[in-house]
């Protein structure tokens, strides 16, 4: 079966309020897609992740430790999604190889390795599964040469 990989920014899903309507629409779209495709969803850490990482920086933690905070939060976000998205896994894979082994129609995961963004994890998974599409859903409104928030 052909696959589609979707990387969803944590800020889209878990901002100040959880958007139930978004999940209802996403579930409906996914129900249609799983008729023809295996779906992989990678979810980011969003605002929660950035909050903990910024705090860690202020107290002098190493970058690898900060990355691990982010990875842990993406996995919590992924776990929450497994309770919302129908036909998905319950155990969160820690690697893209583990994700490939899951037989459910929809596999949801978070980050994997310090130094890798969840978009990078999605790209790796798309390559490994020979996905026909790799979709990045984000709340960023374009591609920038520099950080627009600084």
**Is 3-137 a domain of CATH 3.40.50.10490?**
no
pTM of the model: 0.90
pLDDT tens-digit map of 74-128: 999 999 999 999 999 999 999 999 999 999 999 999 999 999 999 999 999 999 9
Q: What is the pLDDT of residue 149?
A: 66
DSSP codes, 92-148: PPSSHHHHHH--SSEEEE---STT--HHHHHHHHHHHHT-SEEEEE-S--S--SS-T
Per-domain boundaries in the chain? 3-137
């Amino acid at each position: 079966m052909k696959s589609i990989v979707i990387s969803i920014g944590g800020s889209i899903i878990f901002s100040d309020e959880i958007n139930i309507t978004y999940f209802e629409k996403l579930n409906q779209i996914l129900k249609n897609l799983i008729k023809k495709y295996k779906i992989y969803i990678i979810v980011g850490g969003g605002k929660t992740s950035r909050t903990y990482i910024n705090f860690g920086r202020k107290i002098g933690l190493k970058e690898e430790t900060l990355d691990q905070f982010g990875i842990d939060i993406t996995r919590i976000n992924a776990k929450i999604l497994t309770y919302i998205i129908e036909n998905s896994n319950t155990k969160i894979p820690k690697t893209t190889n583990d994700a490939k082994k899951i037989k459910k129609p929809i596999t949801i995961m978070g980050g994997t390795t310090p130094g890798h963004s969840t978009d990078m994890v999605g790209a790796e998974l798309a390559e490994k599964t020979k996905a026909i599409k790799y979709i990045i859903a984000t709340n960023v409104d374009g591609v920038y040469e520099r950080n627009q928030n600084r």
